[in-house]
Structure 1
Amino acid sequence: MIFSSTIWSAPLNSTNETVTPLFDSSSSSSIIQDKSESHTRPPPPPPPRPPPPRPPPPHGPSDGYSSGGSSASATATAVAYCFSDDMLVTLTTGQRIPIGKLRAGDKLLTIDGSKIITSEMVMMLDKHASIEGIFYTITTMSGHNISLTDVHLIPIITVDGLLNYVPVRDIKKGDILYVVSNGTLIQSPVINVKLEVKVGYFSPLTTAGTLLVNDILVSCYANVKSHDNAHFYMAPFRWYYQLFRSLSITEPFGSHATDGVHIIPLSMYNFARWFRPSTLLH
C-alpha cells in the first residue's frame, strides 16, 4: 500500500503562544527614573522561537517523514533494513510468494556467479508487518522493480563483470543489475529510482547470503559496508542452522511469529556499534 512519493517537511507550529514579560510593570525594579522624568522601559522582545524538531524517519532516509511506529520500530530502524511487504520471492518449485511468507527451510532461488542456484531460508532477521517505511524503488530497463530501505546492499555489475555491493541509496541511473527474465539470467540497467512510503517490511537471511527478490539479485545484509564480511561473520549461525536441521529441528532460531528484530542481528549490530563502528554505514 503506497501512500505518497513526495518528501515533505513538518510545518511550523502556527499556534499562538503567550509570552510572559520578563519585567513586571508593577514592580519598582522595572521603573527607571530619568533625570528629567520617570518612564517604564518596555520589556525586551522574546527570543526567536526555534523550529519544531524534525520527526525521525520510520525506516529510511531522514527527509522529514513522520513516524507512526513504536519503540520496536525505532530499534528496527537502527539495526535491520529490509524489503517492502509487496515484494515476491521465487521458490525452487516455481511458486512465487510474498517475502513475508518465507519460513525456515524454504528452498528459493539466487545467483552464484552467472548461474541460478538454490538457497535456503534460515530465519527472518526483521519483521514488521504493519509499520510504515520509506523505500527506494528501483526500476530496470527490463521492467523489473524492487523496493528496499536505504542502506540495504544490492550488487551492481562493474565494467570488469564483477559484483560491487552498494547501499541502495547510492544506486543511480545506468547502474547494471542482475535480473532473471523468463528463466534466463540477464543484465539490465537501472532507468529510475524513486522514494515511496509503504506498509510492512521484512528481512530474510538465506544460506547463500543473497536472494532474488522480484527477480532481482540482492544481498541479505544491510547497514554494513562489506557484504562479504557480513556473510563471513554470519557463518557460525549458518552452521548452527544446518546442524539442527539435520537433527530434524525445523526452526532452530524460532518461528519469529511476532514483529521485531531477531536477537542475533540486534546483538551483532550492538557489538559492531561499540567495537567496530567503522564497519557500519551511517
Structure 2
Amino acid sequence: MMMFWKLMFILAVFTATTQADCPMSQNPKAVIECLRYITSGLYGAVTKDLKIICSIASDIAICARRELGDCVAAEVGRKALDEIRDLADNCCPDRNRPRCPIRDSIINEQRCFAADSLVTLPNGQHKSITQLQSGDTILAYDDKTKQLIHTHLITMLDFQLHRFALFKQLTTFSGRQLSLTSSHLLPTSEQTYVMAKNLRIGMNIYVMNDEGVLMSETITNITDVVKQGYVAPLTAEGTLIVNNIASSCYATINSHHVAHAAVAPMRWWYRLFGMSWKGSKEGEGIHWFAKMLYEIAVFIVPSIIHY
C-alpha cells in the first residue's frame, strides 16, 4: 500500500510539473498539497471508500480551482477528477441517495478485466480486449476437457474506458499476468471456479504456453493495482483466454455455471439472429440485461451475490 501511495504521488507531481502549465513556482507547497488530496481522492474513488472521499472532498474542490485550475483536470485526468467530485456531491450527504453509485450493487462491482488486457485469436495473434466486436472469434477454455476451444464474442456486459478501478493482479510462474476485479471468477486446478479475491499464492490456474497448449501453472504473486478502464466481454462459451490465462466471463455470482445459465437468453438471441443483443444506448456503460439480472437476483436470491 505504501508503494502505491509513493508511485501515485510521484506520477502526479511529475505530470503536473513537466507536462502541464501549472504554477509550481508561485506556490509549490500548496500545489503539492493539492496533488496529495487528488491522489487520496482517486484512491478513495476506486476503492469506493466514502470516508476518504468525504473527508477531503472540499479540499479537492478548493485547491483544484484555486491552485491548479484546468491544468490538473487535463493532466491528472478530467474524468477522474469529475468522478471524485460527483461521488462527493452525491454520496457524502447521504450514501443512500439515488444518484450515489456507491451501494451494494453488482453494477458497480462487476467490472471484470483491465482495459489493457489482450485476448488471443485462433491464429495465435493477440488483440486488445477493448477492440473486440460482436461476432469476433477468440480462444476460450472448455471446463469439461480442460482444453482450448474457439468461441464468439456476443457483446460487452460492461465497457468503461475512462473510469478507474482496483484490480487483483495475478502473476504466474512463467511471468504471465492478469488484472481483474476481485469478484471475477477464474478456473483453478484445485477447485472449479474461484473468485480472484479468494485466490492465494501457490494455487494453480490454467495458462496457455508459448506452444499454444493449456497447462496448469502456479500463482507466484498477487497484488492490488489501480488502472484506468475495464471491460466485461461475454462469449458464447462463457469463457475466454485473457493475457494467455483461462478465465470466466462472469463475476459477483459465485458460480460460473449459474451465471452462464442466467445469460442463456443472450446466447439464444445471438445464435438465432447472429448479432449481439444490444441495449438502448450504444457506447460505454453497462448492458441493460446485466442490470436486469442483478435486480432479479437481489430480489429473489440475494445470497448468491458476492462482492
Question: Quick check: 181-190 or 197-206, which moved more?
Answer: 181-190
Deviation of residue 257 (structure 1)? Answer: 4.1
Distance between the aligned counterparts of 2:100 and 2:231, measured in 1? 14
Q: Tell me the amino acid that sits aligned with residue 145 of structure 1.
A: Q
Q: Using a 3 Å threshold, how does the CA distance of structure 1 residues 235 and 77 change in structure 2: closer, same or farther?
A: closer
- Greater strand share, structure number: 1
State whether structure 2 residue 89 is matched by structure 1 residue 90: no
Q: Using a 3 Å threshold, how does the CA distance of structure 1 residues 241 and 73 change in structure 2: closer, same or farther?
A: farther
Corresponding position of 2:95: none
Question: Quick check: 169-178 or 254-263, which moved more?
Answer: 254-263
- Tell me which structure has the larger Cα radius of gyration: 1
Deviation of residue 189 (structure 1)? Answer: 0.4
Quick check: 2:167–2:181 contact (8 Å CA) kept in 1? yes
Q: Using a 3 Å threshold, how does the CA distance of structure 1 residues 274 and 133 change in structure 2: closer, same or farther?
A: same
Corresponding position of 1:34: none
Deviation of residue 114 (structure 1)? Answer: 2.3
Any idea what SS the aligned residue of 2:292 has? helix
Deviation of residue 56 (structure 1)? Answer: 8.8
Choose the corresponding residue for 2:201, options 163, 166, 173: 173
Corresponding position of 2:285: 260
Any idea what SS the aligned residue of 2:188 has? strand
Choose the corresponding residue for 2:222, options 184, 193, 196: 193
Corresponding position of 1:278: 303
Q: Which runs of 5+ in 2 are unaligned?
A: 7-40, 54-79, 87-98
Quick check: 2:122–2:150 contact (8 Å CA) kept in 1? yes
Distance between the aligned counterparts of 2:260 and 2:184, measured in 1? 14
Quick check: 2:266–2:277 contact (8 Å CA) kept in 1? no
CA RMSD of superposed structures (Å): 2.8
Quick check: 2:133–2:153 contact (8 Å CA) kept in 1? yes
State whether structure 2 residue 124 is matched by structure 1 residue 99: no
Quick check: 2:262–2:293 contact (8 Å CA) kept in 1? no
**CA-to-aligned-CA distance 1:4-39 (integer Å, 9 cap, x gap):** 7359xxxxxxxxxxxxxxxxxxxxxxxxxxxxxxxx
Distance between the aligned counterparts of 1:210 and 1:72, measured in 2? 32
Could you say which structure has the greater relative contact order, defined with CA pairs below 8 angstroms and 6 or more residues apart?
1
Q: TM-score scaled to structure 1, two decimals?
A: 0.72
Distance between the aligned counterparts of 2:280 and 2:209, measured in 1? 32
- Greater helix share, structure number: 2
Q: Using a 3 Å threshold, how does the CA distance of structure 1 residues 229 and 57 change in structure 2: closer, same or farther?
A: farther
Q: Tell me the amino acid that sits aligned with residue 303 of structure 2.
A: S
Choose the corresponding residue for 2:164, options 108, 118, 132: 132
Q: Tell me the amino acid that sits aligned with residue 215 of structure 2.
A: I
Deviation of residue 251 (structure 1)? Answer: 3.6
State whether structure 2 residue 256 is matched by structure 1 residue 231: no
Corresponding position of 1:114: 146
Q: Using a 3 Å threshold, how does the CA distance of structure 1 residues 55 and 271 change in structure 2: closer, same or farther?
A: farther
Corresponding position of 2:4: 5
Deviation of residue 80 (structure 1)? Answer: 2.3
Q: Which runs of 5+ in 1 are unaligned?
A: 8-53
Choose the corresponding residue for 2:236, options 207, 210, 213: 207
Q: TM-score scaled to structure 2, two decimals?
A: 0.67
Q: Using a 3 Å threshold, how does the CA distance of structure 1 residues 185 and 125 change in structure 2: closer, same or farther?
A: same
